[in-house]
Structure 1
């Protein structure tokens, strides 16, 4: 029952819908009291030969009219009640998505994809079901049960009512006990379902690797073990769930036995008529639904409460990076990076230290260095995935923590190391950030990214479906489509995180030339392992062990000993050897 208090904020806000549904349920409950009364009157009238045809037809017409009214009112309260609960589903999922979009990499280290999907779908459904069916069964069972109880006690016999209800307290205690067990077991079952989702998602995402390494049997066995554990935990829930109905039916059967036995004795001794006993038994039959509904309500509310605790735990997680409140000026600005030291959460060694650089509009900054030197970390800090321990980054001379996140990130267009394409057409993937972009604008961005000709060679051109994660395209095509997507945004700052690694040297040179033209008034930051991608940068930072080991433009760095010149010569030699190998391959 604690779920209702946890969702009280929503019930208060939607009180009109819920109040309307509750009032209609009360009216329906009262109308349902009429048929047993009418049947009792008819039985007494017929058994005593004191009821004419007109009076009989009047009672039958009243029952028929009651049924029609109840039917219409049930339709209306369903629209009111379930309409309100479906609005709750939409709101919870919007809050859930907003929470996920505000979180940063550290959050996704703690929560796996399958678990998040389970909470956004299965758990939300359970909460919504409880907010709809749970409220229905609570109100309906209480109103109907109390109304029937009052009529049985006052209009027929309070002694027989008391006798018939003797099994009910025992039943209520048993149901409460089952509800407590169900809450804990269902929470465990939902966690197991999340693990099953995780395994399914990972297996489907890595199916190519699984096949390449011949791991089908191993993965199948692992999946089977998780599925078995999930099934066992759901079976434990079912074992508790299965106890509700038998307990209720036994209690109802005992109530009927006591009612028939006690009522027969009272009819025999003349303290009750046969019609009254018939009405009493029918009223007792109406008590079956409140009893069943009460047990069902405990069931679905406990499930909803367990699901809500999982959703609330995730929604309560505050983002690692807090939002600012300042809005940026419209004009382009200077990006100032002054990082004295930055450590990842939980780490003791700094990932970056003493990194200082200013980037003016129209300039291109290159980042390079050995693997793990801090290039991606610096780009993450520019995007404000983390806050800096000592030092900071400023734009328009405003510290990033003071800026609104959406205002700052709207100035950025980012292409990551691993481009992600949606299962949609090429055109819609390019226009992801600007859905209203025209076809000519999309094609212009594709030409800048040097992928226009490749797209035209696809079966349906720009309307070709790329498949899940762009499975129909090569790595270089996916990278260039991602670059086109970023260019279409016309953002002030373009960030390329090793985004040219899968393209050949000639294509890379053409893209860089186009970027230089495109970025005359924009800031471009390129991180790359292949140093030829940095040849046009105004300044290049060579990072080693999180610090700047060398800095300067391409010619300046080649003129001095160090990691840059050594690596550039090695890459040039490697490229020359590859060209010689290609030329020596015989053509048949």
Structure 2
């Protein structure tokens, strides 16, 4: 239960609903017990009335006695019906308090986890899969909700009803109480083991279903590749194999489920037989009346579900504790990317990097090794390098997705760690190498970084990114809905919409991380011409493996294995006849041969 202590704060928050639920459970159980006593009294009354009825029939008072007898039976019937209705009403109120409380807690938990996820650093997402994150916020929270709702509700019912019923049974006849309750512990233990089997097989089914869903998702996402390589039959065969495994596990679960209710009915039946047999002997000996047997049979049936639920509730609590442990693991991870002074200020755009070294915490790969550079406000820096040279790492560090292993980054002469992180990022425009667009309209994707969408600003950004004409060519224009991850658009269009999204913010610092890799030379030149206007009076960092993208820069650094091997502007680097000039010659020749 220790992991579940974490959610006591929610129980305290909704203590009013919980307290009402307890009160309604007590009242509901009183209306469960009273009908059994009424049945005993009614049966004893009927038996006694029959013994008096025959002499009265002979004395001519039979019709009068019959009417009185039926009136009393009718009153008992009405009372039992009223008790049942009142019990039903209070059961409704129990669900309206405890189950609604569990739904409110579920809502709060999901929001807390989601908010915590968003505050965690990028390194957290490199270590953990999206599927695992999703499972903890959906399936694990649902299991905890089952503890907060049904488990607490049935647990309370058991704790309140069991002592009440046992007390009444003992007060009527202690010996018959012992006989009646003999099979119930066996029932509870049996249900516990059957439930564990059900849960174990349910887990296997969930895992199998998850694998089946992943297989289907991959098949449909990569349908073009499947068709291109003519692997439809292989794919169908693999799906059949996965489906067969899922079917086999489902049948295993059905077989275990088939034991559940027969087991309950068998043990309840045994308990009823023992009660009738032992009670019958006591009636013969004159120790109890007929009504006591009926009352005890009702009590046994009343206790059947609470005792049955004990195994079920125990199982739910175990699963909830395991799920809460998984949730706590992520909630206990703290974001180490925090502001030291929470400084909020309008930045000018001066950037200075001093002796910067960075090692990725999850992989231990040294991405940057003692690099330094300076950009004045309004200037442009080009960062050139081959794949794996550390270009994107610089972008991540400037956006403060990570903190340097050693060295410093200063913006306007102040350590980047002093700034409020959200305020700093709000003043930066970032175009990632791996473009991500949301399943929304093109207009909303471009306006994503804006607090208030301005159509004129959205259209201007689209024109600057050389994507305006493409957008208005769609039947719905800017209101065109993009598919998952922007699948509606081509690779080049996605990159240009991503550029438009960054520049729509009108940032002080613009970081372009190899964002022109999916566009042709003509489109690249068009975007670069537009960017030349955009980058005026704005600090810009152009990261690319293509020299043509870096030509606009005031300063260029060339990276290799995390180290700066050359620096200067385009002309000075060309005159050095080094790595930069060599790259330029190769790329110019390849583009000319492609065009030819």
Q: 1:299 to 1:412 in 2, by over 3 A?
A: same
- Which has the higher Rg, Structure 1 or Structure 2? 2
Q: 1:153 to 1:527 in 2, by over 3 A?
A: same
- Determine if the alignment matches structure 1 residue 392 to structure 2 residue 413: no
- Determine if the alignment matches structure 1 residue 168 to structure 2 residue 160: no
Residue 67 of structure 1, CA deviation: 3.0
Residue 231 of structure 1, CA deviation: 6.4
Q: Aligned residue for 2:101?
A: 84
- Determine if the alignment matches structure 1 residue 208 to structure 2 residue 224: yes
Distance 1:308 1:189 in 2: 21
Unaligned runs of 5+ in 1: 582-588
Distance 1:338 1:231 in 2: 61
**Which residue of 536, 542, 564 corresponds with 2:552?**
536
**Which residue of 417, 442, 456 corresponds with 2:433?**
417
Distance 2:156 2:339 in 1: 43
Q: Which moved more, 1:536-545 or 1:5-14?
A: 5-14
**Which residue of 499, 515, 527 corresponds with 2:531?**
515
Residue 54 of structure 1, CA deviation: 4.5
Q: Does the Cα contact within 8 Å between 1:430 and 1:484 map onto a contact in 2?
A: yes
- Determine if the alignment matches structure 1 residue 34 to structure 2 residue 50: no
Alignment of 1:314-393 (within 5 A): 314-319=330-335, 321-322=337-338, 324-345=340-361, 350-393=366-409
Distance 1:253 1:6 in 2: 42
Residue 164 of structure 1, CA deviation: 1.0
Q: 1:349 to 1:74 in 2, by over 3 A?
A: closer
Distance 2:264 2:329 in 1: 34
Distance 1:237 1:396 in 2: 65
Q: 1:408 to 1:196 in 2, by over 3 A?
A: farther
- Determine if the alignment matches structure 1 residue 297 to structure 2 residue 313: yes
Distance 1:467 1:107 in 2: 27
- Determine if the alignment matches structure 1 residue 61 to structure 2 residue 78: yes
Residue 264 of structure 1, CA deviation: 1.0
Once the two structures are superposed, residues 464-500 of structure 1 have per-residue CA deviations (whole angstroms, 9 ceiling, x without a partner) of: 1222222221111111111111112223222111111
Distance 1:402 1:194 in 2: 44
Distance 2:280 2:527 in 1: 95
Q: Does the Cα contact within 8 Å between 2:191 and 2:308 map onto a contact in 1?
A: no
| Partner secondary structure for residue 542 of structure 1 | strand
Distance 2:116 2:294 in 1: 58
**Which residue of 412, 430, 433 corresponds with 2:446?**
430
Distance 1:99 1:251 in 2: 48
Once the two structures are superposed, residues 73-115 of structure 1 have per-residue CA deviations (whole angstroms, 9 ceiling, x without a partner) of: 2333222212211122222222332333233444334322223
Residue 405 of structure 1, CA deviation: 3.0
| Partner secondary structure for residue 409 of structure 1 | helix
Distance 1:430 1:70 in 2: 58
Alignment of 1:116-195 (within 5 A): 116-154=133-171, 156-176=172-192
Once the two structures are superposed, residues 347-398 of structure 1 have per-residue CA deviations (whole angstroms, 9 ceiling, x without a partner) of: 5663211211122322221111122211112112222232212212122433
Distance 1:437 1:131 in 2: 42
Q: Which moved more, 1:206-215 or 1:437-446?
A: 206-215
Q: 1:435 to 1:411 in 2, by over 3 A?
A: closer
Q: Aligned residue for 2:24?
A: 24
Q: 1:134 to 1:371 in 2, by over 3 A?
A: same
Alignment of 1:451-466 (within 5 A): 451-466=467-482
Once the two structures are superposed, residues 199-256 of structure 1 have per-residue CA deviations (whole angstroms, 9 ceiling, x without a partner) of: 4554444343343334445555555666666666777777766655454433322211
Q: Does the Cα contact within 8 Å between 2:347 and 2:508 map onto a contact in 1?
A: no
| Partner secondary structure for residue 353 of structure 2 | strand
Residue 290 of structure 1, CA deviation: 1.1
Q: Which moved more, 1:86-95 or 1:126-135?
A: 86-95
Distance 2:214 2:400 in 1: 28
| Partner secondary structure for residue 7 of structure 1 | helix
Q: TM-score, normalised by structure 2?
A: 0.88
Q: Does the Cα contact within 8 Å between 2:555 and 2:569 map onto a contact in 1?
A: yes
Once the two structures are superposed, residues 252-300 of structure 1 have per-residue CA deviations (whole angstroms, 9 ceiling, x without a partner) of: 2221121111111111222111122212211221112212222332233
| Partner secondary structure for residue 372 of structure 1 | coil
Distance 1:547 1:532 in 2: 21
- Determine if the alignment matches structure 1 residue 15 to structure 2 residue 15: yes
Residue 542 of structure 1, CA deviation: 1.0
Distance 1:302 1:342 in 2: 43
Unaligned runs of 5+ in 2: 50-64
Q: 1:289 to 1:35 in 2, by over 3 A?
A: same
**Which residue of 324, 346, 349 corresponds with 1:308?**
324
Q: 1:349 to 1:43 in 2, by over 3 A?
A: closer
Distance 2:416 2:251 in 1: 52
Q: Aligned residue for 1:73?
A: 90
Q: Which moved more, 1:89-98 or 1:448-457?
A: 89-98
Alignment of 1:146-295 (within 5 A): 146-154=163-171, 156-176=172-192, 198-220=214-236, 245-295=261-311
Distance 2:495 2:76 in 1: 78
Q: Does the Cα contact within 8 Å between 2:192 and 2:312 map onto a contact in 1?
A: no
Once the two structures are superposed, residues 314-349 of structure 1 have per-residue CA deviations (whole angstroms, 9 ceiling, x without a partner) of: 333344645645223134342221234222236566
Q: Does the Cα contact within 8 Å between 1:113 and 1:201 map onto a contact in 2?
A: no
Distance 2:32 2:368 in 1: 74
Q: 1:576 to 1:547 in 2, by over 3 A?
A: same
Distance 1:250 1:149 in 2: 22
Q: Does the Cα contact within 8 Å between 2:102 and 2:145 map onto a contact in 1?
A: yes
Paired positions, count: 579
Q: TM-score, normalised by structure 1?
A: 0.89
Q: Which moved more, 1:234-243 or 1:116-125?
A: 234-243
**Which residue of 497, 506, 520 corresponds with 2:513?**
497
Distance 2:290 2:339 in 1: 75
| Partner secondary structure for residue 577 of structure 2 | coil
Distance 2:408 2:201 in 1: 48
Once the two structures are superposed, residues 2-27 of structure 1 have per-residue CA deviations (whole angstroms, 9 ceiling, x without a partner) of: 67545333222322111111211111
Q: Which moved more, 1:140-149 or 1:199-208?
A: 199-208
